[in-house]
Amino acid sequence: MENNEAKELNALKLILIKKYKWLDRLKTYKLWKVSNSVYADSFDWINVTSFIDKKWETIFHVDPVRSAHYFKKALYLAWYKEIKDASWIYNLYLIKNIDTKTWNAILWSKPLDKHSLEYFRAWHDIIFHEDKLWLETYKRPSLEWNLHKPQDWQLEWYIWSWALRIKDLHTLLMQKQIDRKIFDKFLPSLQKLLLTQIWDTRFEALWDYVTEQEIKDYYEGWYISKDLAMECYKKIKERDSIKQRKEKRKKEIRSKTHEWVNSIYG
């Protein structure tokens, strides 16, 4: 298994060097497998430079995400904290492993493993929140930002991160930041993404989850078919039912805990 993986990584490295010849001169270049469809590389042996898919195309580079305007806020919303040490090594921690008084890592806590799928997913979550923040900025009804029209590649990126919804695209259309041609171009991708977004708990954490009223608006606006609308209503009911059961269970646990404490301490 290890030999096969080593051969696979070596083959990928040769493809990347052929594509980017300067990599062959970089002695500290490192490449590893994250999952069956995701790879990561590093220019300094330690920090992740980028993530690569199984077609050998870059999924995203880490540094542009890290240097983005909303990065720190996105980290907080995704429940992570990144700490850079004196050696310029970046470590990503779950916020629960951070001392909120010093904003340093709690003693003995471990950062996310840079070779893990968890680390890749963490960055995907951070990008999601960055994109949500940028979308809200674009949608503000102010002259300054309405003059800034999102480019096609930005909309494609927001769809990749799952942050863009049909209602966002509709707002951009109404504010004349995109035209009908662009709207029609991206609508099918968002229709396909809609069922996934219903279950995405990141929207719920932002109090922006997909609602039945939102689906009704899409259907009445001819943005989705009747079949898709009915499927969405079904998924929303399933999601809300699961949420209610979880909340009920939490209340039962809290109630029993209080009873137990009272029985001991009176």
Query: 68-86 pLDDT, tens per residue?
Result: 999 999 999 999 999 998 8
Answer yes or no: are the C-beta atoms of 114 and 51 closer than 8 Å.
no
- Has residue 128 got a pLDDT over 80? yes
Query: 27-62 pLDDT, tens per residue?
Result: 778 888 999 889 998 888 889 999 999 888 899 999
99 — phi, psi (to 5°)? Answer: -75, 115
CA distance 130 to 68: 8
pLDDT recorded at residue 215: 98
Please tell me the pTM assigned to this model: 0.82
70 — phi, psi (to 5°)? Answer: -100, 20
Choice between 184 and 44, residue whose per-residue pLDDT is larger = 184
Q: Where are the domains of the chain?
A: 2-61, 146-240
Buried b (16+ CB within 10 A) or exposed e, 172-193: bbeeebbeeebbeebbeebeeb
- Has residue 236 got a pLDDT over 90? yes
**To the nearest whole percent, how much of the chain has pLDDT over 90?**
57
163 — phi, psi (to 5°)? Answer: -80, -30
Query: 185-210 pLDDT, tens per residue?
Result: 999 999 999 999 999 989 987 889 99
